[in-house]
């Protein structure tokens, strides 16, 4: 079935360690997004990519890094520079850049990765 797969579902990390969260989609979507969600809160945009080999910072990019070497994959690295990394991370994709005219703007989400820093 087509969809977005995030892994791992749960991840524990010691302070000072980098960790990479995987996001893979087989929907043939051009655009992909990473969000962070804290308990009882909404989603905050970390990074987004409108096309392969290109990405832009979102609202809370500090302490995070991404790459977009393949259309299907958009991994997120949570670096040791991120002060409060414990959170629920969601990846999403859309057919094309969500801001483009004529695009309905529908996002397709993965099931999330919960990162806990010990």
Partner 1 sequence: SQQGEEDPQALSIQEGENATMNCSYKTSINNLQWYRQNSGRGLVHLILIRSNEREKHSGRLRVTLDTSKKSSSLLITASRAADTASYFCAPSNDMRFGAGTRLTVKP
Binding residues for partner 1, rule: CB under 8 A, are: 4, 33, 35, 40-43, 45, 48, 58-59, 88, 90, 92, 98-101, 103-112, 114
DSSP conformation class of 73 = B
Question: What is the Cα–Cα distance from 11 to 31, expressed in whole angstroms?
Answer: 25
CB of 41 to partner 1, least distance (A): 6
CB of 53 to partner 1, least distance (A): 19
Instruction: Give the nearer residue to partner 1 in terms of CB position, either 81 or 100.
Output: 100
């Amino acid at each position: 079935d087509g969809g977005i797969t995030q892994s791992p579902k749960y991840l524990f990390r010691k302070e000072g360690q980098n960790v990479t969260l995987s996001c893979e989609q087989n929907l043939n979507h051009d655009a992909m997004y990473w969000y962070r969600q804290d308990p009882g809160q909404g989603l905050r945009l970390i990074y987004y990519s409108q096309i392969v080999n290109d990405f832009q910072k979102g609202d809370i990019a500090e302490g995070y890094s991404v790459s977009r070497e393949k259309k299907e994959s958009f991994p997120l690295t949570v670096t040791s520079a991120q002060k409060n990394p414990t959170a629920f991370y969601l990846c999403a994709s859309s057919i094309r850049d969500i801001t483009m005219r004529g695009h309905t703007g529908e996002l397709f989400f993965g099931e999330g990765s919960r990162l806990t820093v010990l």
